[in-house]
Homo-oligomer: A and B are copies of this chain.
Amino acid sequence: MKVLIIGAAGMVGRKLTGALLSQGRVGSRDISQLTLADVVPPEFGAGTTPVNAQSFDLSAPGAAARLVGERPDVIFHLAAIVSGEAEADFEKGYRINLDGTRHLLEAIRLESATEPYCPRLVFTSSIAVFGEPLPADIPDEFPLTPLTSYGTQKAIGELLLADYSRRGFVDGIGIRLPTIVVRPGKPNKAASGFFSGIIREPLAGMEAVLPVSTSVRHWFASPRAAVSFLLHAATLDTTSLGQRRSLTMPGLAATVGDEIEALRRMAGDKAAAFIRHEPDPVISRIVAGWPQGFVARRAEQLGFVAETSFDEIIRAHIEDELGGSLG
């Protein structure tokens, strides 16, 4: 089968690429061709699967049609302008996150004009489709009331995915990812960055700043869980989804205090001592509007599995990023 990853150069895209190349298959079907597309040509490791990496502008007319013309059986659409940038650059956010998604859907629809074509499309949505007032644990059937342009664009993507799937143009599934921790790499300026930073930096013997209260509760899964969601979504029997094509992924509802206690258990008081509490009212206010937790029953019943403790999330980071032990 042919597989296409749009947005393959991002953190989740790189990990998905790695998993596909190491398995050589999706479900029970061998991958004959893996195409990696992103603004910059994605990098990838060695393997036996033929890989075609290319630079690609999702907002350019015709660009999606060129990729879709290869008739991939499974398309992972991970490309997006992230929350902060979509808020800062209104036009760019709509151009990539809304128009880009629509170009892709239209390219798929028009590709079927010559001969039947209905690929599986796995679309990464986000818990940013939800906005306050929110219950502490958000059920599967809850209105989408995004409070950012990014969340609005993702919610519109979910609606389009459902309509194009209902019409038989695509076999779509949208997965709303939890906040992914522990993100590897350098600290970034995302408002959510500290959730990873207070684990990642102490494990590397570096100081991390905590800008919010330890009572802040949020919804998490590891990068490894995120990849498992994508792979499961690529092979799931979508008839069980009915018309509701987007799912809140399972995750772990945990407080910052829970994070710190898990770090202490895994790496001792010395690691936890690297966390410096420096309250930031701006970040605290942003984070206060975020979802605290979900009851992701539909996704669980469909076989999606996430971590059930922060210890597991830290262990995944140690195994996948730090060579398996705390050197």
Please list the residues of chain A having a beta carbon within 8 angstroms of any beta carbon in chain B. 90, 109, 131, 141-147, 149, 152, 155-156, 159-160, 162-163, 166-167, 243-244
Q: Which chain B residues border A166 with CB–CB below 8 Å?
A: 147
Q: Once the chains bind, are A243 and B163 in contact (CB under 8 Å)? A: no
Partner of A152, one of B131, B142, B144, B159: B159
Interchain Cβ contacts under 8 Å between A and B, 19 examples: A90-B109, A131-B243, A141-B143, A142-B143, A143-B143, A143-B144, A144-B144, A144-B159, A145-B243, A145-B244, A146-B159, A146-B163, A147-B243, A149-B167, A152-B160, A155-B159, A156-B159, A156-B160, A159-B159
| A160: chain B residues within 8 A (beta carbon) | 152, 156
Which chain B residues lie closer than 8 Å to A156 at the CB level? Answer: 156, 159-160
Assembly of this chain: how many copies? 2
Report the Cα distance A142→B145, complex, angstroms: 11
Interface centre among A90, A149, A163, A167 (most CB of B within 10 A): A163
Bound complex: CA of A167 vs CA of B131, how far in Å?
15
Tell me, in angstroms, the Cα distance from A270 to B257 when the chains sit together: 75
Which residues on the B side are within 8 Å of A155 (C-beta)?
159
CA distance A143 to B162 in the complex (A): 14
Task: Kindly list chain B residues whose C-beta atoms are within 8 Å of the C-beta of A152.
Answer: 159-160, 162-163
Which residues on B sit within 8 Å (CB–CB) of A147? 166, 243
In the assembled complex, which residues on chain B have CB atoms less than 8 Å from the CB atom of A143? 141-144
* A163–B142 CB distance below 8 A: no
**Cα–Cα, bound, A86→B160 (Å):** 14
CB distance from A270 to the nearest CB of B (A): 44
List the 10 shortest-distance A-B pairs measured between CB atoms, nearest first.
A152-B163, A143-B143, A156-B156, A152-B159, A141-B143, A155-B159, A156-B159, A149-B163, A147-B243, A145-B244
A133, B243: Cα distance in complex, Å: 10
Additional pairs, 13, CB under 8 Å, beyond known A141-B143, A156-B156, A156-B160: A90-B109, A131-B243, A142-B143, A144-B144, A144-B159, A145-B162, A146-B163, A147-B166, A149-B163, A149-B167, A152-B160, A152-B163, A156-B159
